[in-house]
Structure 1
């Protein structure tokens, strides 16, 4: 009878230790996820800041502070094209086939809006029109 109690307590101790370890691991994963989300927010805001600073610099340095709506629109369109090309390049690099199949063109699972399609947006004569 005494032996069963000792075995039962030992089993309870093992279960308690396992539960404590599991909770600690779950909390660590939760903290890691929260930190990753915060870093994503910081990176997103840094990207926004960078884009606005580039636009601000373009307006003041290339156009003397008084660009036309067409100048701003053309600048933004060119920057969007550059970003689209960079994104496409990264996706193609990530989706590159194994070495034996590199002669085949990789397929892009995402559809991109082409420059031609973008030129027919409702904003063409909207937000930046004078």
Structure 2
């Protein structure tokens, strides 16, 4: 069987798949362990993971709800900030707001039909 009859070309250049052209950053063992533990603790923090993966609309809602109980705590520029950038007091307000939104989710049905817009009397 010759090479021209194969369905895919035989390309031995794998650099596009494994980023072989990129330079690996050197670090000491203690730096590596420190970075590992920092990333591990970030993945163990449920509030951090939840807040950081949400859209800016969700973050706006959470921070607005937090501002209702503590006016002026959060500014508009805080919407784009990651969870870890807030101090403990602000983090606690964010967690309380997310818990409140979660509670609301259990109070309303999963889906409300748009046909319910008309109230019959």
Report if TM-score (shorter chain) is over 0.5.
no
Bigger Rg, structure 1 or 2 = 1
Higher helix fraction: Structure 1 or Structure 2? 1
| TM-score computed with the length of structure 1 as normaliser | 0.21
